Amino acid sequence: MDGQKDSLIGLTRDQLKRALLTVGVEPKQVGMRASQLWNAAYVQGATDFDRMTTLAKPFRRELDERFTLQRPEVVTAQTSSDGTRKWLIRFGPGVEVETVFIPEEDRGTLCVSSQVGCTLNCRFCHTGTQKLVRNLTSAEIVSQILIARDHLREWPHAGRNTTTRQITNVVMMGMGEPLYNFDNVRDALSIVADGEGLSVSKRRITLSTAGVVPMIPKAGAEIGSMLAISLHAVRDEVRDAIVPLNKKYPIKELLAACRAYPGLSNARRITFEYVMLKGVNDSVADAKQLVRLMAGIPAKINLIPFNPWPGAPYECSDWEQIETFGEIVNKAGYASPIRTPRGRDIMAACGQLKSESVKERASARMAALRSRELAGMPH
């Protein structure tokens, strides 16, 4: 994004109005102007102010001097043999994330990242081998959806028949823990769900968490999307070992927060993700315990065959074992689909995402500053 200009992408409606007031838009016109810009950015997919012919030329010029609608840089765009697409997006030097589009027969899901890297260190997750670089801003989260729509040619002017949308669902299941970047994720999702903009309804937005228990009620109250929980184990000893966050928020507390999540019903269930790790969490006893734990929660269990990555310390459960596990859960009355691995050939499947971003260490920054000083260069 442009270094000097502020992006209008990612601002909530209120923030957008405030931004417009700073460039002299009349208070009584600001609602209308904000709506025009909102429509241009999120319905038309505008990337500059030039073609916004409903706005007077001098006003467009003024907007252009102060603001931008430009996209961040796409470093690589890959397509899997199964049609899954993956984009590596650069927000700044060394600040990169991956975004994945998974087309299916009846829907298209965009998997969006919330952080560069992650703090959680789940043992089976590739992103977990990467340190947290930083939280993404609301603009950077929303930009992932805009970039995907650009590449899928999903805007009206792209000439495609837009009555059938490609991105029907959004999942916060990319890199990072969304509940550790709460405010930016909340603002971004309110923009994604806005009915006069991108219009992905909250029922088609799923936020996945490894179980940041204190933030779950807040997510229910302020975000109101569907919820997914990365459960992965049914006993604290096992979960402590593979999802270290469990030591802070054990299974019992996590499930109590799930039971209290607002608006649950049979039509609006929590998804529990369960990665199938051979010999670790995939026994018949585990399946039976899982059923016990689910009592009283409108739940759907998503069984995820473990996706390998270089150096991963686990293996995927045998297919028969996954089916046996699924049957037990299913017979107890819980839907238990086995998630088909998608995009493995381009490392786009669950848990395979990683970028080369590295946290710039303070000492490295100091060294760089000093060498610039020595060379007589400005900072």
Residues near ligand SAH, by CB under 6 A: 122, 124-125, 173, 177, 208-210, 230, 273, 275, 304, 306-307, 350-351
Residue 350 beta carbon to ligand SAH: minimum distance, rounded to whole angstroms: 4
CB atoms within 10 A of CB 316: 20
Cβ-in-10-Å burial (0-12, 13-18, 19+) of 339 comes to middle
Using an 8 Å Cβ cutoff, are 117 and 175 in contact?
yes
Catalytic residue among 122, 327, 350, 360: 350
- By beta-carbon proximity to ligand SAH, the closer residue of 173 and 254 is 173
Report the distance separating Cα 30 and Cα 35, nearest Å: 9
Q: What is the DSSP letter of 172?
A: E
Report the distance separating Cα 26 and Cα 57, nearest Å: 17
- By beta-carbon proximity to ligand SAH, the closer residue of 110 and 350 is 350
Catalytic residue among 96, 98, 154, 273: 98
- By beta-carbon proximity to ligand SAH, the closer residue of 138 and 209 is 209
Residue 275 beta carbon to ligand SAH: minimum distance, rounded to whole angstroms: 4
Residue 356 beta carbon to ligand SAH: minimum distance, rounded to whole angstroms: 18
Chain position whose Cβ is nearest to ligand SAH: 351
- By beta-carbon proximity to ligand SAH, the closer residue of 154 and 282 is 282
**DSSP string over 299-335:** EEEEEEEPPP-TT-S--BPPHHHHHHHHHHHHHTT--
CB atoms within 10 A of CB 365: 10
CB atoms within 10 A of CB 246: 24
- By beta-carbon proximity to ligand SAH, the closer residue of 68 and 115 is 115
Cβ-in-10-Å burial (0-12, 13-18, 19+) of 251 comes to buried
Residue 304 beta carbon to ligand SAH: minimum distance, rounded to whole angstroms: 4
φ, ψ at 296 (rounded to 5°): 85, 0
Structure tokens at 198: 């991108």
Active-site residue 350, yes or no?
A: yes
Residue 373 beta carbon to ligand SAH: minimum distance, rounded to whole angstroms: 40
**SS3 call for 205:** strand
Please identify every residue annotated as catalytic: 98, 350
